Amino acid sequence: MKVGILTSGGDCAGLNAVMRAIALNLYENEKNVEIVGFRDGYAGLIRGEAVPMQRADFEGLLLVGGTVLGTTRTPFKLMSVPEENGATRLAKMVASYKKLGLDCLFTLGGAGTHRTAALLCAEGCNVIGLPKTIDNDIYGTDVTFGFHTAVDVAADALVRVRTTSESHRRTMLVEVMGNKAGWLTLYAGIAGGADVILLPEIPFSIDKVCEAVSRGYAAGKRCCIIAVGEGAVLDSEAPFKRRERVFVRADRGETTVTRHLAEVIGERTGAETRATVLGYIQRGGEPSAYDRVLCTRLGSFAAQLCRRGRFGVTVAVSGNRITFNALTDIAGKYKFVDPNGEIVRAAEETGVSFGR
Strand partners, 175: 228, 277
- Asked if 36 and 4 touch (Cβ cutoff 8 Å), the reply is yes
Q: What whole-number distance in Å separates Cα of residue 281 and Cα of residue 268?
A: 32
Strands 2-7 and 34-38: parallel
To the query of whether residue 291 is one of the catalytic residues in this protein, the response is: no
Q: How far apart are the first and last CA of the chain?
A: 55
Instruction: Name the amino acid, one letter, at 51.
Output: V
* Among the listed residues 295, 13, 277, 63, the one whose alpha carbon sits nearest the alpha carbon of residue 154: 277
Strand partners, 275: 173
Tell me the three state secondary structure of residue 75. coil
Kindly write down the DSSP assignment for every residue of 94-132, as one continuous string: HHHHHHHT-SEEEEEE-HHHHHHHHHHHHTT--EEEEEB
Output the CA–CA distances (angstroms, integers) from residue 195 to 211, 219, 299, in the order listed.
12, 13, 37
Catalytic residue from among 11, 40, 135, 195: 135
* Among the listed residues 259, 252, 253, 230, the one whose alpha carbon sits nearest the alpha carbon of residue 172: 259
Kindly write down the DSSP assignment for every residue of 181-243, as one continuous string: --HHHHHHHHHTT-SEEE-TTS-B-HHHHHHHHHHHHHTT-S-EEEEEETT--BTTTTTS-HH
Catalytically active residues are 135
